[in-house]
Amino acid sequence: MFCPKCGSILLPDTSKGKRIFVCGCGYKTAKLKEAIIKESIKGESKLEVVEKEEAPHLPLMDTECPKCKNRKAYFWTVQTRAGDEPETKFLKCAKCNHIWRDYS
């Protein structure tokens, strides 16, 4: 709901035991019954794990596996942090299927 006087968003408040909407400009209304205030909390997102049979459709790059020292690995990226931060690159060895992260 917006203030009819100044156009700002009306905020819920309590006055004399009643729930009302108020604005910074001084406007008040008792029409809280018409509004439904919802609050939701987003849960943690789950990372996608790439299975052995899914790897061939991923791009292949030259890098060294930290486990078996093979020079080929599949890679994919996932946005694991805030949107203004870079994606995390996941790598999967083409030989031993070891998975690791590349933060660079």
Dihedral pair phi/psi, residue 34, rounded to 5°: -80, -20
What whole-number distance in Å separates Cα of residue 67 and Cα of residue 97? 10
- CATH classification of the domain holding 70: 2.20.25.10
Q: Which residues are catalytic?
A: 84-85
By residue range, what is the domain housing residue 64? 52-102
Q: How many domains does the chain have?
A: 2
* Assessment of whether the complete model's pTM goes beyond 0.75: no
In the 8-state DSSP scheme, what is residue 56?
A: G
- CATH classification of the domain holding 7: 2.20.25
Any domain includes 46: no
Any domain includes 44: no
pLDDT by residue for the chain (104 residues), tens only, comes to: 788 888 888 888 877 777 788 888 888 886 555 555 566 666 666 666 655 555 567 888 899 999 999 999 999 888 877 878 888 889 999 999 899 988 76
Any domain includes 95: yes
Dihedral pair phi/psi, residue 12, rounded to 5°: -70, 145
Any domain includes 56: yes
Question: Cβ contacts of residue 52 below 8 Å, gap of 6+?
Answer: 97
Torsion angle of the four alpha carbons 49, 55, 57, 58, in this order, in degrees rounded to the nearest 10: 70
